[in-house]
Amino acid sequence: MSAPAISPFVWAEYFETGFDDVDGQHHKLVDFINALAGRAISGTPIRPDELAHSLDGLSRYAAHHFATEEALMERAGLDPRHIGPHRKAHADFVAQVEAMRLTSDPTAVLPGLYNFVTSWLSFHILDTDQSMARQLRAVADGLVPEQAFAADQAQGRDPGSTALIAAVRSLLGLVADRNKELQNINSSLEARVAERTAALTAANRDLLATQQRLREADRLAVVGQLAAGVAHEINNPLGFITANLRTLHQYAKRLLALTEEAGRLAEAGGQGGAWQALRGDADIDYLAADLPGLFDECTGGLQRVGEIVQVLQGLASPGPLALAPVPMAPLLDAAVAATACSRQPGQVLQRDYAALPVVPANAALLGSALEALLHNAAQALDGAAGRIVLRAREHGDELVIEIEDNGCGMDEATRARIFEPFFTTRPVGQGRGLGLSSALRIVASHGGRIAVRSVPGRGSCFRICLPLDRTDRSD
Q: 353-368, pLDDT tens digit by residue?
A: 988 999 999 888 898 8
**Cβ(376)–Cβ(436) under 8 Å?**
yes
Q: What pLDDT sits at residue 3?
A: 43
- Total domain count, the chain: 3
In this structure, are 86 and 212 located in the same domain?
Answer: no
Give domain status of residue 30, yes or no: yes
**Listed range (274-288, 348-362, 396-410) with the worst mean pLDDT:** 274-288
Instruction: List, in order, residues 6 or more apart from 267 with CB less than 8 Å away.
Output: 275
In this structure, are 336 and 454 located in the same domain?
Answer: yes
Which residue type does 30 have? V
Residue 68 burial (C-beta neighbours within 10 Å; 0-12, 13-18, 19+): middle
In this structure, are 280 and 232 located in the same domain?
Answer: yes
- Confidence band for 472, pLDDT divided at 50, 70 and 90: very low
195 vs 209, 214, 217, 316, CA distance in Å? 15, 16, 21, 33
Label residue 405 left, alpha or beta by phi (over 0 means left) and psi (-120 to 50 means alpha).
beta
Give domain status of residue 457, yes or no: yes
Tell how strand 358-361 and strand 347-352 pair up: unpaired
In this structure, are 328 and 434 located in the same domain?
Answer: yes
pLDDT tens digit sequence for 96-131? 888 887 776 666 666 667 667 777 777 677 788 888
In this structure, are 291 and 349 located in the same domain?
Answer: no
- Confidence band for 382, pLDDT divided at 50, 70 and 90: confident
Q: What pLDDT sits at residue 75?
A: 92
Give domain status of residue 186, yes or no: no
What is the chain's mean pLDDT, rounded?
Answer: 78
Q: Which residues pair with 389 in a beta bridge?
A: 350, 404
Mean pLDDT for the stretch of residues 336-350: 91
In this structure, are 79 and 35 located in the same domain?
Answer: yes
Instruction: List, in order, residues 6 or more apart from 21 with CB less than 8 Å away.
Output: 68
Q: What pLDDT sits at residue 337?
A: 92
Choose among 72, 204, 190: nearest CA to 132: 72
Give domain status of residue 162, yes or no: no
Mean pLDDT for the stretch of residues 29-48: 74
User: Residue 474 pLDDT > 50, yes or no?
Assistant: no
pLDDT tens digit sequence for 299-340? 877 776 776 666 666 655 555 667 889 999 999 999 999 999
Which residue type does 419 have? F
pLDDT tens digit sequence for 413-439? 888 888 877 667 665 445 556 778 888
Residue 262 burial (C-beta neighbours within 10 Å; 0-12, 13-18, 19+): middle
Residues in the chain: 475
Q: What sign for the dihedral angle of Cα 41, 43, 44, 48?
A: positive
Give domain status of residue 147, yes or no: yes
In this structure, are 304 and 436 located in the same domain?
Answer: no
Mean pLDDT for the stretch of residues 192-205: 67
From 157, 188, 211, give the residue that closes a domain. Answer: 157
Give domain status of residue 50, yes or no: yes
355/363 Cα distance (integer angstroms): 18
In this structure, are 350 and 261 located in the same domain?
Answer: no
**Cβ(149)–Cβ(79) under 8 Å?**
yes
User: Residue 183 pLDDT > 60, yes or no?
Assistant: no
Q: What pLDDT sits at residue 461?
A: 95
In this structure, are 48 and 145 located in the same domain?
Answer: yes
Q: Is 424 helix (H, G, I), strand (E, B) or coil?
A: coil
Name the residue with higher pLDDT: 151 or 163: 151
CATH label of the domain that carries residue 341? 3.30.565.10
In this structure, are 306 and 374 located in the same domain?
Answer: no
Can you give the pTM of this predicted structure?
0.40
Give domain status of residue 474, yes or no: no
Instruction: List, in order, residues 6 or more apart from 203 with CB less than 8 Å away.
Output: 196
From 127, 157, 187, give the residue that closes a domain. Answer: 157
Give domain status of residue 179, yes or no: no
Q: What pLDDT sits at residue 284?
A: 82
From 297, 316, 335, give the residue that closes a domain. Answer: 316
pLDDT tens digit sequence for 220-264? 566 656 666 666 667 777 777 878 888 888 888 888 888 888 878
Q: What pLDDT sits at residue 106?
A: 63
In this structure, are 67 and 142 located in the same domain?
Answer: yes
User: Residue 4 pLDDT > 50, yes or no?
Assistant: no
Q: What is the domain extent for residue 71?
A: 13-157
- Confidence band for 218, pLDDT divided at 50, 70 and 90: low
Half-sphere exposure of 381 (CA within 13 A, CB side): 23
In this structure, are 342 and 309 located in the same domain?
Answer: no
440/170 Cα distance (integer angstroms): 25
List alpha helices for 317-398, DSSP H. Answer: 328-338, 363-380
Mean pLDDT for the stretch of residues 51-62: 84
CATH label of the domain that carries residue 118? 1.20.120.50
**Cβ(193)–Cβ(211) under 8 Å?**
yes
Q: Is 400 helix (H, G, I), strand (E, B) or coil?
A: strand
Q: What pLDDT sits at residue 475?
A: 40
